[in-house]
Amino acid sequence: MEDTLAAVKEVIVEVLKIDADNITLETRFIEDLKADSMDQFFLIDGFCEKFDINISDEAAREIHSVKDAVEAIDALKK
């Protein structure tokens, strides 16, 4: 999970151009990071590319926080 969290943070920093220090598991994309729908699309795309996985549209709609992303990615990597 820690490796996944670190890689998720890398994607968030790259896509949203923000400082990684403020990103925790509880960080929410829309409410805390002010991500819009395009940002969310690019985040999901970035996660898919980084981890060589495919996140379905349905699963992507359930990813609202860093923790959601880490859990979804870990489940897909198994």
For the stretch 7-51, pLDDT in tens is: 999 999 999 999 999 899 999 999 999 999 999 999 999 999 999
Domain ranges of the chain: 2-77
Task: Spell out a b/e string for 11-25, using b for 16 or more CB atoms within 10 Å of the CB, else e.
Answer: bbeebbeeeeeebee
Report whether 37 contacts 30 (CB < 8 A): no
pTM of the model: 0.93
Question: 2-77 is classed in which CATH architecture?
Answer: Orthogonal Bundle (1.10)
According to the model, what pLDDT value does residue 1 have? 78
Q: How many Å is the maximal CA-CA distance in the chain? A: 31
Q: Using the predicted structure, report yes or no on whether residue 69 has a pLDDT greater than 90.
A: yes
Report whether 29 contacts 40 (CB < 8 A): yes
